[in-house]
Amino acid sequence: MNLKTAALRLGVHYQTAYRWVRSGQLVAVKVGAGYEISDAAVARLQAQRAATERMPEGGAGRTPPVDAESSLEDALHVLDLMVDAVTLDSTAVGERAARVIAEHLGDTAFVYRRSDDDVMVAVYAAHRDPVAEVGASTLGRDPRTKTNLVRRAVTNGQVIYVPQVPQRELRRLLHPELHEHLQLFGCYSALCAPFNGTGALLVTRDLPGRPYSNDDVALVESIAARVGVADERARSWSAAWNMRRAAVELFRRPTFDGRCFDALAERAESDDPDAEAEIVDEPIVAVLDLELRHVVCSKAYAALMGEDATRLTGVSLRSIVRDGGALDEALAPVLCGEIDFRSVELEILADRTRVALHVAMVRRADATPRGVVLVAHPVPALSGS
């Protein structure tokens, strides 16, 4: 259809439709002096406009904020919800973890991460007393503060528990300029729990006579594990999205061949110059038709789904996951044109493994849907969960 017909279909003035074409909101193909617009392009813009008028998903039933007066159980529940919400950035989980442990166990909590220069850096500091938190953050972030205990925990991968911290040793580890901060808070008992070989959660007691217990060790270890899962989710999601971009570019080529997937691990480079060039050893990727039937997939994808790659052609993704209805609901915005990218977590039938499916709708130049690219991977989880 021409631009005037498209404007009538969309219920707007011709000039409005023209502005949408110029801005890229309405996909159009230049033909001579005018534009040709596909039914798919009009339907896509209609779906996108309708989506902006709806309340965000879960807006009415979202978990209320947790304050310092809430129970530890409530705080951990919210922390778990935050972990499950991580996609590309786990920053908020680390900050909340430090806050939870400081407020419910006390007294000071630090989250350390290993830098690219192999230095243990305190990235978050929390204290139940806001004034003392300022001093704790200063002490933890000062590059002259020794991090021997943290490094040992991260290197060994084991929790280090020091019931009574020798004060002479503590003062030796701190630069003399920092000793004045010990008037606001101290370190008389310490617990350090590592996560992922890249970081650790360190908690300390301000006053003597209140050493941490074995139950406290278990709590700190469990919260550190949550931070580790959040970091792993961010890493997995970033890798999957980079892989998805590369797969989409391959699928858009006129000469697309499913065997191209074998080279994806080498080709999928992140937009982030600091990210690793190689994303995965074996690409877990597939192409589906608009009915979500498999067209082609990599061997690693088939293995994850508990199937044989040669037998997946023509098989619907709905028949592989445990909840086909949840899959349809999650991907409906993609299939109707509201959005072109979506990630969803579902269990597969083969062994009830929970997997993340990262979907992209691939369109032709006139916005007509061509097919669906899918990248998958197991969902990181706490050990034993």
Question: Is residue 66 situated within a structural domain?
Answer: no
Boundary residue ending a domain (203, 231, 259): 231
Question: Is residue 58 assigned to a domain?
Answer: no
The per-residue pLDDT for 264 is: 58
- On whether both 238 and 227 belong to a single domain, the answer is no
**Is the domain of 174 the same as that of 187?**
yes
- State residue 277's pLDDT score: 43
- Tell me which of 167, 197, 231 is where a domain ends: 231
Which DSSP string do the residues of 186-208 spell out, in sequence order? --SEEEEEEETTTEEEEEEESST
The model's pLDDT over 271-301, given as tens digits with 9 standing for 90+, comes to 555 544 444 457 899 999 999 999 988 888 9
Co-location of 240 and 351 in the same domain: yes
- Read off the pLDDT of residues 61-72 as tens digits, 9 standing for 90 and up: 555 565 655 899
Task: Tokens for 204, please give them.
Answer: 């300390």
The token pair that represents 171 in the structure block: 């003062």
| Residues 222, 228: Cα–Cα separation, whole Å | 10
Question: In this prediction, what percent of the chain has a pLDDT beyond 70?
Answer: 88
Q: CATH number, domain at 123?
A: 3.30.450.40
Residue 86 contacts residue 237 (beta carbons within 8 Å): yes
Question: How many distinct structural domains can be found in the chain?
Answer: 3
pLDDT digits (tens, 9 = 90+) for 95-108: 999 999 999 998 89
81 inside domain:
yes
Residue 8: domain span: 3-52
Burial level of 144, CB count in 10 A (0-12/13-18/19+)? exposed
End-to-end C-alpha distance for the chain, whole angstroms: 54
Spatial distance between the Cα atoms of 297 and 192, rounded to a whole number of angstroms: 44
Relative to beta strand 29-31, strand 34-36 is: antiparallel
H-only helix segments in 53-90: 72-85
Q: Are residues 125 and 266 in the same domain?
A: no
What is the distance between the alpha carbons of residues 243 and 256, in angstroms, rounded to a whole number? 16
